[in-house]
């Protein structure tokens, strides 16, 4: 069972509108300034690219430890349940929700690629429940269909693709533009998974805006560690505004542990705790 609950994205999001949200958000815009050569050197000095295969797998394990109490993130393709957070079903490798738009987009993208799939017939119901916690038209039959689809490489690929399009690529690209290394890129990614893209005060973009008011990122001449601490402080303020996020250990006993140790590269071995449970990546 997941121990955290990601706030809702904009209700009624369509595939096109979600992409608009990502591209229109200043914090995630493709128009975000490219770091100067000195900033690029800073990125290389502090850990490089979270999108490299080995670092990306570490990122997925770290998120899974908090979202699923397991490092086996690939086992989560078939995960689905209503965790009682008002967002309907939560499912898959990063917690796509039936009430927040991203599950609808995922199933639509999957159906575009594989029209005859177990979930295609639930698209009308997913549109109807979007923005609510309703199970109308879904229920156990939908849960069973999700688990059946998750056994296929096509649905696993669809989950990977939507994760990257909506969450991983925008957050990592923004972190690189801000001059951050692998740890900073992960800190951004974990935040967008929980809080969603956007520029409202409780979204990823809003948290970043709050942090920049307190400390400059490396791309603006600031210290990387100082800035990341400001970002995590701003994130914790938002987390504590919702009961489901009041436990901030994924920041306190995971991300701050790495940051305080100066592990801006996310070098292994990594040792941390989430909700009191210990984890290690060697």
Q: pLDDT, tens digit, for every residue of 77-134?
A: 999 999 888 889 999 999 999 999 999 999 999 999 999 999 999 999 999 999 999 9
Question: Considering the entire predicted model, what is its pTM?
Answer: 0.83
> Is 67 assigned a catalytic role?
yes
The larger pLDDT score, comparing residue 248 to residue 244, is at: 248
Spot the catalytic one: 85, 102, 178, 190.
Answer: 85
Looking from the CA of 157 toward its CB, the CA atoms found within 13 Å total 8
Nearest of 281, 63, 14 to residue 168 by alpha carbon: 63
Peptide bond into 269 cis (omega under 30): yes
Q: What would the two tokens of residue 266 be? A: 């996310």
- Looking at the predicted structure, is the pLDDT value of residue 15 above 80? no
- Candidates 67, 82, 162, 254; catalytic one: 67
Kindly list the strands in the beta sheet with 80-82, ordered across the sheet, starting from the edge strand earlier in the chain.
80-82, 89-91, 96-97
Q: Residue 278 contacts by C-beta under 8 Å, 6 or more apart in sequence?
A: 271, 272
Q: Over range 18-28, report the average pLDDT.
A: 37
Among 171, 13, 172, residue whose Cα is nearest residue 87 = 13
Active-site residue 242, yes or no?
no
Q: Give yes or no for residue 208 having a pLDDT over 90.
A: yes
Distance, in Å, from the CA atom of 97 to the CA atom of 252, rounded to the nearest integer, reads 26
**In DSSP terms, which residues pair with 90 in a beta bridge?**
81, 97
Using one digit for the tens of pLDDT, what is the confidence trace for 138-196? 999 999 999 999 999 999 999 999 999 999 999 999 999 999 999 999 999 999 999 99
């Amino acid at each position: 069972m997941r121990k955290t609950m990601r706030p809702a994205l904009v209700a009624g999001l369509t595939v096109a509108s979600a992409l608009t949200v990502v591209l229109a958000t200043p914090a995630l815009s493709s128009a975000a300034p490219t770091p100067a050569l000195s900033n690029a050197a800073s990125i290389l000095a502090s850990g490089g690219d979270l999108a490299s295969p080995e670092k990306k797998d570490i990122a997925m394990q770290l998120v899974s430890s908090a979202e699923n109490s397991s490092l086996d993130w690939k086992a989560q393709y078939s995960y689905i349940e209503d965790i009682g957070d008002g967002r309907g079903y939560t499912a898959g490798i990063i917690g796509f929700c039936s009430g927040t738009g991203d599950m609808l987009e995922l199933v639509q993208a999957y159906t575009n690629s594989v029209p005859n799939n177990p979930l295609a017939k639930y698209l009308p119901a997913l549109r109807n429940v979007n923005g609510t916690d309703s199970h109308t038209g879904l229920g156990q039959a939908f849960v069973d269909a999700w688990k059946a689809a998750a056994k296929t490489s096509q649905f696993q690929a669809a989950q990977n693709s939507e994760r990257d399009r909506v969450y991983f690529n925008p957050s990592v690209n923004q972190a690189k533009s801000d001059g951050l290394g692998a740890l900073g890129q992960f800190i951004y990614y974990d935040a967008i998974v929980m809080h969603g893209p956007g520029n409202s005060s409780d979204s990823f973009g809003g948290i970043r805006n709050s942090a920049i008011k307190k400390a400059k990122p490396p791309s603006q001449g600031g210290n990387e560690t100082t800035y990341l601490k400001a970002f995590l402080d701003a994130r914790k303020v938002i987390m504590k505004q919702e009961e489901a996020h009041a436990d901030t250990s994924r920041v306190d006993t995971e991300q701050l542990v790495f940051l305080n140790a100066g592990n801006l590269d996310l070098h292994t071995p990594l040792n941390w705790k989430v909700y009191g449970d210990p984890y290690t990546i060697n």
